[in-house]
């Protein structure tokens, strides 16, 4: 039964039951047809019982017969700015990834379903807090000394004299669609959403080795169409960067390790 039908039933069934039990049934009884009144009253009671069953069914559909997800980070990520062959692209990869120079792997997370109920037509939305990129990159951003940042609506360009510019797309929210999630699946922070964190980190991370950034938060929402009436699972993911650039090194411009902490939201 769809949510719309359930709402209609929960509204009309007790209303009809009240009319029958408090009006129609007693009227027939006092007019002398007590057997008919008895059956009419029985029908009214059945409507009340049916209302209860529909409400229980709605509760089961919304809470019990639904997926129940948990999310965990697979590994720390390494952020680098200034590595060849694309020095002005903000490169990210997992700390255990073995990939060629210049390639990247966005931070990956594991989704686990704690129930046997599969989710179909899944929408995974990654969001980051909106901030003023111009204000952040121009306010005491010592890591940006000697570099230039040009910001447009959905892209920021990092420029360093004598080197090729780097175009870094960014957005504060992206939705990824999956046909289904069974027992487990993987999801990743979309690169454009991740770049909002990367720019924040290179702009605010303390320049001394071992310096730690303020926390940057991502919001993760997992929604599905089947089973119906499911409440999206929501998580807040805390990211903290630690400066790993060796003291006195000129290359890369900045390197950092990113740790993630996943916090479910009620």
For 129-170, what is each residue's pLDDT tens digit?
999 999 999 876 788 999 999 999 999 999 999 999 999 999
Residue 102 has pLDDT above 80, yes or no: no
Q: What is the mean pLDDT of the chain?
A: 86
Residue 13 has pLDDT above 70, yes or no: no
> β-strand 108-113 against 69-73: which pairing, if any?
antiparallel
Predicted local confidence at residue 40, as pLDDT: 66
pLDDT digits (tens, 9 = 90+) for 174-200: 999 999 999 999 999 999 999 999 999
Of 31, 64, 97, the position where a domain reaches its end is 64
Higher pLDDT, 86 or 127: 127
Residue 95 has pLDDT above 80, yes or no: yes
Alpha-carbon torsion angle 42, 48, 49, 55, nearest 10: 170
Give the global pTM: 0.77
Region 62-73: mean pLDDT is: 84
Region 233-243: mean pLDDT is: 97
End-to-end Cα, the chain, rounded Å = 26
Residue 109 has pLDDT above 70, yes or no: yes
Rg (CA), the chain: 29
Q: Tell whether 78 and 27 lie within a shared domain.
A: no
Residue 68 has pLDDT above 60, yes or no: yes
Provide the CB-side half-sphere exposure for 99 (13 A, CA). Answer: 13
Task: Check: CB of residue 226 under 8 Å from CB of residue 119.
Answer: yes
Q: Which two tokens stand for residue 80?
A: 């680098």
Residue 171 has pLDDT above 90, yes or no: yes
How far is 70 from 170, CA to CA, in rounded Å?
Answer: 27
Q: Domain count of the chain?
A: 2
Nearest to 112 by CA among 178, 186, 180: 186
Nearest to 197 by CA among 108, 84, 120, 92: 92
Confidence class of residue 45 from pLDDT cuts 50, 70 and 90? confident
Of 42, 64, 86, the position where a domain reaches its end is 64
3-state secondary structure of 172: coil
3-state secondary structure of 5: helix
Of 45, 64, 83, the position where a domain reaches its end is 64
Show the DSSP H helices in 92-180 as ranges. Answer: 133-138
Residue 10 has pLDDT above 60, yes or no: no
**Burial class of 173 by CB neighbour count within 10 A (0 to 12, 13 to 18, 19+):** middle
Q: Tell whether 198 and 114 lie within a shared domain.
A: yes
Predicted local confidence at residue 119, as pLDDT: 95
Predicted local confidence at residue 140, as pLDDT: 67
Q: Tell whether 77 and 54 lie within a shared domain.
A: no
Residue 37: domain span: 3-64
Residue 62 has pLDDT above 60, yes or no: no
How far is 83 from 17, CA to CA, in rounded Å?
Answer: 74
Q: Tell whether 107 and 225 lie within a shared domain.
A: yes
The continuous run of DSSP H or E covering 127 comes out as strand 119-127
How far is 176 from 117, CA to CA, in rounded Å?
Answer: 21
pLDDT digits (tens, 9 = 90+) for 206-224: 989 999 999 999 999 999 9
């Amino acid at each position: 039964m769809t949510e719309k039908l359930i709402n209609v039933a929960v509204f009309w069934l007790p209303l009809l039951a009240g009319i029958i039990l408090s009006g129609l049934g007693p009227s027939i009884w006092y007019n002398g047809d007590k057997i008919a009144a008895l059956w009419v009253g029985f029908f009214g009671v059945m409507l009340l019982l049916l209302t209860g069953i529909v409400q229980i069914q709605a509760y089961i559909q919304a809470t019990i017969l639904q997926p129940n997800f948990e999310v965990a980070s697979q590994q720390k990520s390494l952020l680098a700015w200034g590595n060849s062959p694309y020095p002005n692209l903000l490169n990210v990869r997992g700390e255990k990834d073995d990939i060629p120079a210049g390639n990247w792997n966005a931070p990956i997370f594991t989704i686990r379903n704690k129930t046997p109920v599969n989710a179909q037509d899944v929408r995974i939305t990654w969001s980051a807090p909106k901030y003023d990129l111009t204000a952040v990159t121009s306010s005491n951003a010592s890591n940006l000394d000697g570099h230039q940042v040009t910001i447009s609506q959905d892209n920021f360009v990092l420029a360093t004299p004598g080197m090729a510019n780097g175009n870094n797309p960014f957005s504060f929210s992206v939705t990824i669609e999956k046909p289904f999630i069974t027992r487990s699946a993987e999801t990743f922070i979309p690169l454009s959403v991740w770049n909002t964190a990367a720019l924040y980190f290179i702009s605010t991370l303390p320049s001394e080795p071992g310096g730690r950034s303020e926390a940057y938060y991502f919001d993760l929402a997992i929604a599905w169409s089947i089973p119906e009436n499911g409440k999206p699972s929501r998580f807040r993911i805390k990211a903290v960067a630690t400066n790993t650039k060796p003291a006195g090194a000129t290359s890369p411009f900045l390197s950092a390790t990113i740790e993630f902490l996943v916090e479910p939201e009620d």
